[in-house]
């Protein structure tokens, strides 16, 4: 691809409802939200805007969509509350901003962008993250804004399975979910953004991979941009997103091989459901996952917008 090209890939998590049980209306809502997310980011990229602006815009749309586990629609923790994690990273400068365990901000990814712009600190957690959002004038919401009836039902199901010692029987949608975006703009710059409510029935205070730079979120113009979805504890242990970048930089692997080796070969050895979207410095996109499906979409200057849930 030439330097005039752009690429955008998004995911709404590999925590999808099983194909046999997913309601047609819900699947249609997911596809519509993915399409809106792609359009928000692609509109910026087509106009010559930055990859950073594009991934932020794409993730905001998914944070506002009740069908995804981020922002409105976030998973419940074990106490019946919500704690949100998110991060954004600029591949041109390697600057980043992140929040963890936030409980009151409407759009965590916007707050991450403001943290990055502050230039003083990178990661804020809990009350400190929410206080920063208030001070900067971001939209603040009550806890019940995040919850949906579907997420409440998933919490009840997970608690019932836990009481039986049978959480391994849970499907991916009951366990977790995340949203994310990666982009390459017409100037050759990369960016990544990820946002999540974590996994259903998680312990209060648990922090996953999404806000950990190099684990669930990473961008470097020299190599690639990555946003991951799945059981974050494994991604932290693998330093997954940076590991893909390192394999490109030091082993000479291409993006697709580096990503697929981790997601399809190595993580299954740990019985880890996982997926990711990635884009490299040339604009090539990869979207591997090892679960039944992954909410995802892609658009480039040479490829019309496409969204999918399963292998369809």
| Chain segment 108-149, per-residue pLDDT in tens | 999 999 999 999 999 999 999 999 999 999 999 999 999 999
pTM of the model: 0.96
- Under 8 Å between Cβ of 159 and 203: no
In the chain, where the domains are located: 7-308
| Chain segment 236-282, per-residue pLDDT in tens | 999 999 999 999 999 999 999 999 999 999 999 998 899 999 999 99
**Catalytic site residue 178?**
yes
Rounded Cα–Cα distance for residues 37 and 31 (Å): 10
Could you tell me how far CA 289 lies from the centroid of its own chain?
A: 13
- Under 8 Å between Cβ of 191 and 109: no
> Which residue among 93, 178, 196, 229 is the active-site one?
178
Q: Quick one: residue 181, left, alpha or beta (phi over 0 = left, psi -120 to 50 = alpha)?
A: beta
* Total residue count of the chain as it appears in this document: 312
Rg (CA), the chain: 18
Mean pLDDT of the chain: 95
| Chain segment 58-112, per-residue pLDDT in tens | 999 999 999 999 999 999 999 999 999 999 999 999 999 999 999 999 999 999 9
pLDDT of 1 above 60: no
Tell me which CATH code domain 7-308 carries: 3.60.20.30
Half-sphere exposure of 225 (CA within 13 A, CB side): 38
Can you give the pLDDT at residue 177? 87
- Under 8 Å between Cβ of 311 and 54: no
Rounded Cα–Cα distance for residues 277 and 265 (Å): 16
């Amino acid at each position: 691809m030439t330097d005039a090209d752009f690429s955008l890939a998004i995911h709404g998590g590999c925590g999808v409802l099983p194909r046999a049980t997913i309601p047609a209306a819900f699947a249609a809502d997911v596809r519509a939200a993915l399409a809106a997310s792609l359009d928000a980011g692609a509109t910026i990229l087509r106009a010559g805007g930055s990859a950073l602006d594009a991934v932020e815009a794409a993730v905001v749309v998914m944070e506002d969509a009740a069908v995804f586990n981020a922002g409105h629609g976030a998973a419940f923790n074990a106490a019946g509350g919500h704690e949100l994690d998110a991060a954004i990273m600029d591949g041109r400068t390697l600057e980043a901003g992140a929040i963890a365990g936030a409980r009151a901000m409407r759009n965590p990814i916007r707050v991450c962008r403001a943290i990055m712009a502050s230039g003083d600190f990178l990661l804020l957690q809990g009350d400190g993250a929410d206080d920063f959002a208030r001070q900067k004038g971001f939209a603040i919401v009550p806890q019940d804004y995040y919850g949906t009836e579907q997420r409440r039902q998933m919490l009840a199901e997970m608690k019932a399975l836990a009481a039986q010692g049978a959480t391994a029987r849970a499907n991916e949608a009951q366990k977790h979910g995340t949203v994310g975006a990666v982009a390459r703009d017409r100037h050759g710059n990369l960016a990544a953004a990820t946002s999540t409510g974590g996994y259903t029935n998680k312990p209060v205070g648990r922090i996953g991979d999404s806000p950990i730079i190099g684990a669930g979120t990473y961008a470097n113009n020299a190599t690639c941009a990555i946003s991951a979805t799945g059981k974050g504890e494994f991604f932290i242990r693998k330093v997954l997103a940076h590991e893909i970048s390192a394999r490109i930089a030091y082993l000479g692997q291409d993006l697709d091989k580096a990503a697929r080796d981790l997601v399809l070969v190595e993580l299954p050895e740990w019985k880890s459901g996982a997926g990711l979207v990635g884009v490299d410095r040339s604009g090539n996109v990869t979207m591997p996952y090892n679960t039944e499906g992954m909410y995802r979409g892609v658009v480039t200057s040479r490829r019309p917008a496409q969204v999918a849930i399963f292998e369809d």
